[in-house]
Amino acid sequence: MNEPLRPSSLGEILDRTAQLYRSRFLVFLGISVLPTGVVLALACVAGLVAAWWGTSGAHSVSKEAGYILVALFALGVALLALPILLAVTALAAAAMSHAVSRVYLGGTTTIRDAYKIAWRIGWRSIGLYLLQAIFVAILPTTAWIVLLLIFGAIAALAQKAGMGNLADGAFVGLLAFLALVAVAGYGIWMLLRMSLAFPACVVEQKKAWSAVKRSFALSQGTKGRIFLLFLLVAALGSLLSTAVTIPLTILLFMIPGMSSPQHAQAAGVAMLLILYAAAFAVQSLVKPVYGIALVLFYYDQRIRLEGFDIEWMMQQAGMVVPAPPQPTAQPWLPPTPYKKANEEPIAPVANLQHVSISASEPMPDPTPAEPTPPQAGESK
């Protein structure tokens, strides 16, 4: 973008998000297609295996062996799918942040260049995504499960003690609901605090934990606007999903004979495929909106808190000169002293331990004296 950098409201950030998305639609869509495509491919593999199991696989083994095989298959898919999804999603988030930053500051990029930069910081991105998953999802879920166990233990002890009020299921359910609200609120709060971590990690080349702390600092005062952004994009995703699913479902049941009992299984499989295709399309279209808007929020907070707009204008005008690199000594050479550009090198002086100059004695003239010509009558 060639627009001047300045603080922006939520409406202006959404407007710039739409402009950037429209200007590089294929680039942003191509970046977001990779993680959603991996999810769709894994779901299709699982669906095909389930369909094969329902038609011929279940009849070739006993019932107990079938349960064991299904459990082993589910465990293998989980062990294979989770690391792949983690890595691909982290790389896509880093690539999106790089592409949006380049376009926002007036540069150009491609899908390949964005993923090349993301690949260079791949482990850093995966670590950052793991930290986000731990703070936003894993810790709240674990806390909720622990609270449920505690509430269940309290209800069991109350029942043994004859305290019917505490053992009542409605009371325990109310406590479980309140705990769910508390841990969900904590997860949302942490999501808002960590929402600017990926732009900080990519733009400022920070490590995972440093990017998290940087996001904590930059998100001060703007969590409400980011929360409204999440609500608006979630509503947009729901509308798009409904707009895609309902017409396809109507067309499916308008096919002659599809609603008959003989084709109930085929209709169910087709309905699942429609839902997966709609989810794939909606996720591919909506994910860039999140990525673009969060990068814009990142730069908006830097403009508000740190004067990044002035720094960027000075850098564009050539007024900010980077510091000269410090010379480094090779392992086999002694360290080289750093000297300024207008400073003459100091010549080494050998063996100064026997030289003593008195304060009353004049300093000797370092320039050699010219030979005097011989006088008349002196022999040469």
pLDDT tens digits, 28-67: 999 998 887 777 777 677 666 666 665 555 555 555 666 6
The angle subtended at Cα 202 by Cα 196 and Cα 203, nearest 5°, is 85
Handedness of CA 80, 82, 87, 92 (dihedral sign): positive
Question: pLDDT tens for residues 91-137?
Answer: 999 999 999 999 998 888 999 999 999 999 999 999 999 999 999 99
Higher pLDDT, residue 76 or 17: 17
Cα separation of 255 and 270, whole Å? 12
Secondary structure percentages of the chain, helix, strand, coil, to 5: 70, 0, 30
- The average pLDDT across 259-271 equals 64
Residue 242 identity (one-letter amino acid): T
List the chain domain ranges.
Answer: 10-316
Contact in structure between 85 and 92 (CB atoms under 8 Å)? no
pLDDT at 308: 87
Question: H or E element: which one contains 121?
Answer: none
Over 70: is that where the pLDDT of 8 sits?
A: yes
Nearest-angstrom CA–CA distance, 320 and 322: 6
> What value does the mean pLDDT take over residues 231-250?
85
Q: Quote the percentage of the chain above a pLDDT of 90.
A: 37
Give the pLDDT confidence score for residue 168 in this predicted structure.
58
Question: Is residue 322 pLDDT above 60, yes or no?
Answer: no
Alpha carbon distance 4, 309 (integer Å): 8
Q: pLDDT, tens digit, for every residue of 324-364?
A: 555 444 444 455 554 554 555 554 444 444 444 444 445 45
| Token code pair at residue 65 | 């062996």
pLDDT of residue 351: 45
For 243, phi and psi rounded to 5 degrees? -65, -25
In 293-373, beta strands by DSSP E: none
Would you state the pLDDT for residue 245? 80
The pLDDT confidence band at residue 303, using thresholds 50, 70 and 90, is: very high
Q: Rg of the chain's alpha carbons, rounded to an integer?
A: 35
Q: How far apart are CA 371 and CA 86, in angstroms?
A: 86
Angle between helices 111-120 and 122-133 (to 10 degrees): 80
Which among 104, 110, 118 is positioned nearest to 205, based on CA atoms? 118
* Each residue's pLDDT tens digit, 145-170: 998 888 878 777 777 776 655 555 67
Residue 189 clears pLDDT 80, i.e. is over it? yes
Distance CA 246, CA 117 (A): 40
Which pLDDT score, from 0 to 100, does residue 360 have? 45
Average pLDDT over residues 173-193: 90
Tokens of 99: 């592409």
CA dihedral 115, 85, 79, 57 (to 10 degrees): -110
Least confident stretch, 177-181, 240-244, 360-364: 360-364
| pLDDT higher than threshold 60 for residue 369 | no
DSSP-assigned states of every residue in 40-81: HHHHHHHHHHHHHIIIIITTSS-HHHHHHHHHHHHHHHHHHH
Worst-scoring range by mean pLDDT, 180-184, 252-256, 293-297? 252-256
Residue with tokens 């942490």: 190
